[in-house]
Structure 1
Amino acid sequence: MVFQKIGDEGLDAFVNVRLTPEEKERLRDDADLAALSMSALIRARYFGRPVVAHADQVMIKELRRLGGLLKHIHNESAGAYSAETSAALFLVSEAIRKVGKS
């Protein structure tokens, strides 16, 4: 039985791993934070793919929205607050970078 496909191949091979109940709970919590199944989380981590917590994705989306609003303020004010908007945009972009690396 194939549960999911990645590319042209179905995910129909199994690997059994023994964990302590605490390790399994931690794995489940990490998967929930990333909005992934435990299997998808393990594959992503093992194969070196980035795993970003769902909460982090929401935060990045909100930071990008704020960046767009700052750009709008800059454009509407004809650059009257360019130093302030530039500094704020720099801080927003740094926050996005930091959240993306966590």
Structure 2
Amino acid sequence: MHAEPRLRRHVLYSRSAEAASQGAFAVINGMQGIEHPADQLIGLACALKYTADACGHAPLDLIELVERMEADCRFREVNTLSAVAKYADIEIAGKLQ
């Protein structure tokens, strides 16, 4: 159940891909202290769900927002969020090999 939004929707939608990437890099860096990649992924999912719920937003709505940001970056031919994807691939998924 989602609480009344504590962070208004227009505030979320006004954030830049650059700000999103800074947060994403910080989260990925923090996850690296957890040894097993499965624990990292489940921990990340828990953090997203409970943080989004506490702020009054559906986690899937936030993922859709990031997908729109990603599409905008591709359209503008900037690598802001693709750099985050590469970093996650190297730092997190790379441990699975």
**Structure 2 length as normaliser, TM-score?**
0.27
Larger fraction in helix = 2
**Structure 1 length as normaliser, TM-score?**
0.27
Larger Rg: 1
